[in-house]
Amino acid sequence: MTTTTVETSAAVTGTGAAGTARKPRARGERGLAGSLASHGILIVASIVALFPVAWLVFLSLGPDKDDYLHPGGIWKKMTLDNYSFVLQHTNFFDWLKSSLIVSLGTTVLGVLVAATTGYAVSRMRFPGYRKFMWVLLVTQMFPVAVLMVPMYQILADLELIDSYVGLILVYCSTAVPYCAWLLKGYFDTIPFEIDEAGRVDGLTPFGTFARLILPLAKPGLAVAAFYSFITAFGEVAFASTFMLSDDKYTFAVGLQSFISEHDAQRNLMAATAVLIAIPVSAFFYLVQKNLVAGLTAGGTKG
Amino acid sequence: MTVAIDRATGKRRGDRAPRPGLGQRLKNGYQKHWYAYAMIVPVAVVLGVLVIYPLVYGLYLTLTDANSLNTARTIGVNHIDATYKFIGLDNYKDILFGPTSYDRFWSHFIWTIVWTAVCVALHYCIGLGLALLLDQKLRGRTFYRLILILPWAVPTFVTVFGWRFMLADSGIVNTALDALHLPTPLWLEDTFWQRFAAIMVNTWCGVPFMMVTLLGGLQSIDSTLYEAAEMDGANAWQRFRYVTLPGLRSVSATVVLLGIIWTFNQFAVIFLLFGNTAPDAQILVTWAYFLGFGQQPRDFAQSAAYGILLLAILIVFTSFYRRWLNRNEQQFAI
Q: Where are the domains of chain A?
A: 2-59, 86-301
Nearest to A19 by CA among B82, B137, B216, B120: B137
The 10s digit of each residue's pLDDT in A221-243 is 888 888 888 888 888 888 888 88
> Chain A, 242-281: which have a CB under 8 Å from a chain B CB?
251-252, 255-256, 266, 269-270, 273, 276-277, 280-281
pLDDT at A295: 61
Average pLDDT, chain A: 79
Cβ contact (<8 Å) for B154 and A277?
A: yes
Residues in chain B where the model's pLDDT stays below 70 = 1-22, 25-26, 29-33, 74-77, 329-334
Q: Between these two residues, B201 and A161, which has the higher pLDDT value?
A: B201
> Chain A, 78-97: which have a CB under 8 Å from a chain B CB?
none
**Alpha-carbon span A144 to A66, nearest angstrom:** 34
**Which class would CATH give B98-327?**
mainly alpha
What amino acid occupies position B53? Y
The 10s digit of each residue's pLDDT in A26-72 is 555 567 888 888 899 999 999 999 998 988 888 888 777 777 777 77
Cβ pair A222, A290 in contact under 8 A = yes
Q: Between these two residues, A125 and A269, which has the higher pLDDT value?
A: A269
- Judged by average pLDDT, the poorest of A171-180, A292-301, B62-71, B256-265 is A292-301
The 10s digit of each residue's pLDDT in A98-112 is 999 999 999 999 898
pLDDT at A41: 92
Q: Which residues contact B193 (CB under 8 A, 6 or more apart)?
A: B185, B186, B187
Examine the pLDDT at A211 and tell me if it is beyond 90.
Answer: no
Cβ pair B274, B161 in contact under 8 A = no
Helix (H) or strand (E) holding A11: helix A2-20
Cβ contact (<8 Å) for B333 and A302?
A: yes
Q: Where are the domains of chain B?
A: 7-51, 98-327
* Greatest pairwise CA separation for chain A in angstroms: 75
Residues of chain A in contact with residue B145, where contact means CB-CB under 8 angstroms, are none
Helix (H) or strand (E) holding B80: strand B78-80
Q: How big is chain A, counted in residues?
A: 302
With cut-offs at 50, 70 and 90, classify the pLDDT of residue A154: confident
Cβ contact (<8 Å) for A39 and B138?
A: yes
**Alpha-carbon span A63 to A77, nearest angstrom:** 7
pLDDT at A7: 42
pLDDT at B32: 67
Identify from A6, A134, A146 which residue to disrupt to test chain B contact, counting B C-beta atoms within 10 A and taking the largest count: A146
Report cis status (omega within 30 of 0) of the bond before B297. Answer: yes
Q: How big is chain B, counted in residues?
A: 334
Beta-carbon-side half-sphere exposure of residue A87 (alpha carbons within 13 Å)? 8
Q: Which residues of B154-182 are buried (b: 16+ CB within 10 A; e: fewer)?
A: bbbbbbbbbbbbbbbeebbbbbeeeeeee
Angstroms from A300 CA to nearest CA on chain B: 6
| DSSP annotation of A68 | G
Q: Between these two residues, A275 and A264, which has the higher pLDDT value?
A: A275
Residues of chain A in contact with residue B288, where contact means CB-CB under 8 angstroms, are 143, 145, 148
What's the CATH code, domain A86-301? 1.10.3720.10
Contacts 24+ apart (CB under 8 A), B225-231: B226/A27, B227/A27
